Every structure is written in C-alpha cells, then in structure tokens.
Chains A and B, each alone.
Chain A
Amino acid sequence: MTRFLSDKNILDTIGRDSEAGFRMLLKDYKEAVYWHIRRITVAHHDAEDALQETFIRVFKNIDKFKKDMPLAAWIFRIATNEAIRQCQRHKKVAFSLDDEAQTEDAGRMIADEYFDYSDLEAVKLQKAIHKLPPKQQLAFNLRYYDEFDYATIARISDTSAASAKANYHAAKEKIIHYMNTHD
C-alpha cells in the first residue's frame, strides 16, 4: 500500500483541526481502502457504501484508536468488517471470517456495471480468489495487493502472523492450481 503521510502527521493534525486532519487521512487512505473493500464486495455500490461507513466509524472513534497498532491496520480492520456487513446486508455470499466454508462461485461479478470483462486473465484471477475460504482470501488480498507484512495482516484479521503467512501461501497454491486447470 502506497502511503504519503505518516500516522503521526495525520493524528497530530486531527488533534489540532479535526476536519483538516480527517481530510488528510481520507486522501491517504481512501483509494487503498476502497480497493480492499471492493475485492470483498465485488459490486461497486456496495463498496462505496462500506467505504463511507468505514470512514464515518473512523471519524467517530479516532479518539479511541490505541496506538499499539499501525493506523492502517485499524482502518483496514474496520473496512473489512464493514465490507462483510455490507455483503450480509444484501444476503450475498457470506464472507465471514468465522466461516471456514468455501465461498460460492464469484457469479455475482456478472451483475456489476463497473466491471471490465475484457481482461479474461484478471477476471479469472478474481474468480479464483473468491473460491478461497474467507481467511485465505483476506490474507492473500492484504499481502498480494496491499503488500502488508504478516504482522499487520494478523492485526487486521485477528489472527497470528504465522497463521496469516500459512493462509497466504495456501491461497497462492490454490490460485495457481485454479488458474492452471480452468479455462
């Protein structure tokens, strides 16, 4: 995840001027958080709703943020929960971190208007990711796309770093197998 500002800089600014600081935080995080949510919800409108709820929660609870974890981990943890809540609200495939069952086929990709079908390899990769169990899906996305280290992934997904690493490698193997065996 590409960042331009330090957590300290953002938090100090929020302490002095909440709106200015919050705008700094939004500028630094909104795109990465959106894409993280979008990889879970798939549909753009659901991702937008979850994105808004995420930052409103961040805004309301920033004074409760304990600096024992990176700000990014705290925000991505809230975003993950909001994305899951959004999926459940629309009775979509339940992406629950407590649910070890495999998620359904990523057929819901078909309905979204903000979806590019022209790159077949990219579509197939997303389908492969959505075939994974939720914890592997989350670990893979956070490592592969956002480039978080395993300790941060562990904070976001409420697991251990070793477990996050195992989930990522298991996910990678399954994706390679899927990509090599499906047209």
Chain B
Amino acid sequence: MSDFNFDKTGKKMPYRVPDNFFDDVENKIIANAHSRQRRHRGLTLAFRLTAVAATLAILLAVGSHSMSSHKTDFIEILQAFDNLSDADQTYLLEIYQDDIFMHE
C-alpha cells in the first residue's frame, strides 16, 4: 500500500487536445455565434411575414367590417412574440417553419 501525496502527483491530467485546438475553437465559436444570430434573424423575419400573410388572409375571409379588431389581434400577437425569450422565439420559429399548412 503506497502513501498517496497530492503534491507529488500535482495537477497533471491524462487528457490531450489536437494541435492548435484553442486557436481554432475560438474562431469556430465566433463563426457559430454569427451564423446562429443570422439564422435567428432570418427565422424572425420569416415568422413575421407568415404572421402578416395569415392575418391578411383572415381579414379578407372574414370581411372588412371586423378589420379593426383583427388589426388589434395582430399587433397583440407581434407584441407577445417580442416579449418571449430568445429560446422561446427560436422554438416557436422552428415549429412554424416545419408547419406545412402555414406555407401552403
């Protein structure tokens, strides 16, 4: 039975990383962050355009006499969407992007 000593072993670990890993990963993270930001903006725009199209379709179908109340509904929807967290916005956008009925 040996007498283990932390000072003797030190903080060395048996883990290695690929060459230049820390330089490369920094650039990957920045690129990944930018691409997700662009995707998020694109999805937000797509959601807004889809919401506008859907609302216009409803307004045309229902008739002009109820237009003012639908306008209010639409503004409320956009305001509610803006109040969501980034994660919830992304979740909603991903759900609606795959909804074939919204894109017909």
Contact = CB atoms under 8 A, between A and B. Distances in A.
Contact of A48 (B2, B11, B15, B25): B25
Contacts, number: 84
Contact of A176 (B4, B13, B21): B4
B1 interface: yes
Interface size of B as a range: 20 to 34
Contact of A179 (B2, B11, B17, B36): B2
Interface stretch (A5-13, A73-81, A87-95, A111-119): A111-119
Contacts of B14: 109, 115-117, 119, 122-123, 126
Interface of A: 19, 22-23, 26-27, 30-31, 34-35, 38-39, 42, 44, 48, 51-52, 55-56, 59-61, 109, 114-117, 119, 121-123, 125-126, 144-145, 172, 175-176, 179-181
Interface string B11-25: 111111110011001
Contacts of B17: 34, 44, 114
Contacts of B32: 52, 56
Nearest to A44: B17
B71 interface: no
A35 B13 contact: yes
A39 B16 CA distance: 12
